[in-house]
Amino acid sequence: MKSLEGAGYRAEFDPEAGCVRLRGSLRLGGLTEYAPISQLLEDALDGRDALTLDLSGLEFLNSSGIATLSKFVIAVRNRKTCTLAVRGSTSIPWQGKSLNNLKRLMPTLELDFD
């Protein structure tokens, strides 16, 4: 299991489950500060034909974080070799508002809310 931790958040990649989980509150300053998370996401894609992005514990995400996830979704879409499922939570209001935009970027993305 690869993981990253910072003030108020945790990011982990579980290779066996084929799942990247983001938890807590992510409000890093700009795409540069998100680079380690982008790298974790990119590494998770390597040689994989299916990946799940579990956001059901992600309470807060700022617009730089939205930009980071969108960039990743566009990279997966353009690669055309891996399916992507995103898991969200109905009890976290921003997810109901903003996660649908990821599906607009990649219509084959599977979006599930628990």
Give contact residues for another protein (rule: CB under 8 A). 7-8, 25, 27, 29-31, 60, 62-64, 66-67, 70-71, 74-75, 91-94, 97-98, 101, 104-105
Q: What's the closest the beta carbon of residue 104 comes to another protein, in angstroms? A: 6
Q: What's the closest the beta carbon of residue 67 comes to another protein, in angstroms? A: 4
- Closest residue by Cα to residue 102 from 82, 114, 87: 87
With residue 24 as reference, give the H or E element that holds it. Answer: strand 19-26
With residue 87 as reference, give the H or E element that holds it. Answer: strand 83-88
Nearer to another protein, 66 or 85 (CB): 66
Nearer to another protein, 49 or 97 (CB): 97
**Distance between CA atoms of residues 84 and 50, nearest Å:** 6
